[in-house]
Amino acid sequence: MPEGARIVLDAQVLVGKPIVRGTRLSVEFVVGLLADGWSETEILQNYPTLSREDIIACLAYARDILSSEKIFLSSSA
């Protein structure tokens, strides 16, 4: 990860899942809150260690992972 990156991987925290730097909040958790309909304001009120930039970084991380995903369709006979 680049120096100063908001999203980090640490094998000692959450079994190495990508997390927001300085927290134990995973990208998966933050994106899940958004998927469940939480607003940015609700997230920031409930998780004051997060910033707007952290939420954006979580979404960007998820976007980057999905953009590199490869799907191979198999034909069934």
Which domains are present in the chain? 7-67 (1.10.10.10)
Query: Per-residue b/e over 24-60, b at no fewer than 16 CB within 10 Å?
Result: ebbbebbbebbeeebeeeebbeebeebeeebbebbee
Over the stretch 7-53, which tens digit does the pLDDT of each residue have?
999 999 999 999 999 999 999 999 999 999 999 999 999 999 999 99
For residue 68, pLDDT beyond 60: yes
Predicted structure pTM score:
0.84
Please check the confidence at residue 1 and state whether its pLDDT lies above 60.
Answer: no
